[in-house]
Structure 1
Amino acid sequence: MDNFDNFSSSEKAEATELQRLIAIEQQKAQFQAQVHTFTDVCWDKCVDSPGSKLDYRTETCLVSCVERFIDTTLTITNRFTQMVQKGTH
């Protein structure tokens, strides 16, 4: 956290709240970027030619692709969490 020694307590509270809001917005942006990435990857992998409806094969491929992407993201996140926890103990 930044050095707020010269701030009044209300300014410190405002600065802390602003940092919290910025962190939340950064998390939202990261989530949107992930959604955009797996949309691009799965669309390119699964959709041959867009039509008015998804056929069974395309729908199954999209569901499987997104599930694999989510599983992979969770695995990586859990691994980093474990690494951080081991580093702090």
Structure 2
Amino acid sequence: MSFPSNYGLSSSNMENRKQAVMDQVRNELALANAQELINKINEKCFSKCITKPGNKLESSEQTCVAKCMDRYMEAWNIVSRAYISRVQRESHYQGESL
């Protein structure tokens, strides 16, 4: 039993479909990445800044949480940029060696 190689879709339709799937995967990865960042910030900053939980945050706790979030997001962005740069560099070098 044989099947047509493109299942009745033109090559441009296949490319469009492939691009749509890739875009969806990228969006889902970005969402998962953002959720991980938020979860880590909550975990790390809460344990660092909130020593005795109560009905409301004290001024010093609010300041601590704000600074902690800023530092964590800044570090996250630095690491992300370095990682992306390294992946791009390695894919460029692999492309040259082919």
The reply to whether TM is greater than 0.5 is yes
Q: Which runs of 5+ in 1 are unaligned?
A: 1-5
Out of 15, 18, 24, the residue aligned to residue 15 of structure 1 is 18
**What's the TM-score, normalizing by structure 2?**
0.70
Pairs within 5 Å for 1:2-81: 6-7=5-6, 8=9, 9=11, 10-81=13-84
Q: How many equivalent residue pairs? A: 84
**SS class of match (1:27):** helix
**What's the TM-score, normalizing by structure 1?**
0.76
Give the CA deviation at 1:23: 1.4
Using the aligned pairs only, state the percent identity: 20
Distance 2:25 2:87 in 1: 22
Q: Which runs of 5+ in 2 are unaligned?
A: 94-98
**1:21–1:86 Cα change, 3 Å:** closer
- Structure with max Cα Rg: 2
Distance 1:14 1:42 in 2: 42
